Amino acid sequence: MSATMLRPAEAGTLRAVLNYVAPFLTRLRNFTYDPPGGEPRSNAIPDPREMPIHDLRPIAEEVSLDEHGFGIIRHRSSVPGYENEADIREVVYPEATRLLQDVTGADRVHIFDHTLRRRVPGQEDRSGSQRQPVTRIHVDQTERSGPQRVRDLLPAEADALLRGRVQIINLWRPIRGPVLDAPLAVADARSVSPGDLVPADLIYRDRVGELYYARYNPAHRWFYLPRMQPDEVLLLKCFDSATDGRARFVPHTAVIDPSAPADAPPRESIELRALVFHRA
């Protein structure tokens, strides 16, 4: 982890509660559906901590995927409403592929899924028809699950692809803006120690994945993009097979902004997830 950090301006800093996980005795797990026997969906106990979340705008040109684990780019999609599933897959996926190739110089990009989120206040994620913003700090992939996604999605080519560098990068953007409700906060990867990340099982009906939750560490440095607009894209690195000091895993979470107007429109966003390959 690099000793140098981003130098945030204090002006525009938001103070909000972030949900870490409390110390635990058993392996953490989270069901994506209502489990049998009345079990809770998750056995993780929240450890809420108020943290400063700094404005990214004054330092936007300083951030990069390989140094900090996230980046900001401007791009206007030709499908701004994201109402039609076919348009998302046939138009938005190729747009995102070209965008990631331009940003990373990758030899190949494979967009493998997307999620639309429309916040319903008071409703938990996956408990209704709409996916909700996730208000627990997490990373979508882990040291183990990153390569497994390649094997799951591209089994015939996985061995050859895994000989090169593999990244999993999310593209996150608002559907409508400016975002005033439940903005996305990201941690500078260089402020996060490996021991801060806790693997947890993510249980689907047909498979078991793995993600990271995060333990509290006062050294973490958090950032967000205030009043984010649909032509602003936040890139999040959720896995990188490179172990040469580049950022590999970026904790992130939706934040309930206590200063948001009471009549702020509920946040609507789309995120796409991509395997990004570089030849060996």
In-domain check, residue 8: no
In-domain check, residue 3: no
Give the structural domain span for 217.
14-278
Q: Could you tell me if 46 and 97 are in contact, meaning their C-beta atoms sit under 8 angstroms apart?
A: no
Token representation of residue 254: 């939706």
- Provide the pLDDT for residue 123: 64
Could you give phi then psi for residue 214, rounded to 5 degrees?
A: -130, 135
Could you give phi then psi for residue 36, rounded to 5 degrees?
A: -75, 160
Segments in the chain below pLDDT 70: 1-11, 122-129
In-domain check, residue 93: yes
Q: Is the pTM of this model over 0.95?
A: no
Tell me the H-state helices in 106-228. 145-153, 158-161
Q: In what order do the strands lie in the sheet containing 268-278? A: 70-74, 232-240, 165-174, 268-278, 108-118
- Provide the pLDDT for residue 255: 96
- Provide the pLDDT for residue 6: 64
- Provide the pLDDT for residue 280: 87
In-domain check, residue 1: no
- Provide the pLDDT for residue 3: 42
- Residue 32's alpha-carbon distances to 132, 153, 204, 255, in angstroms, are 13, 19, 6, 21
Domain count, the chain: 1
In-domain check, residue 220: yes
**Which 8-state DSSP code applies to residue 89?**
I
Please report, for the domain that includes residue 241, its CATH number.
2.60.120
- Provide the pLDDT for residue 214: 98
- Provide the pLDDT for residue 5: 58
Question: Rounded to an integer, what is the distance from CA 47 to the centroid of its chain?
Answer: 19
In-domain check, residue 6: no
- Provide the pLDDT for residue 269: 95
In-domain check, residue 181: yes
In-domain check, residue 2: no
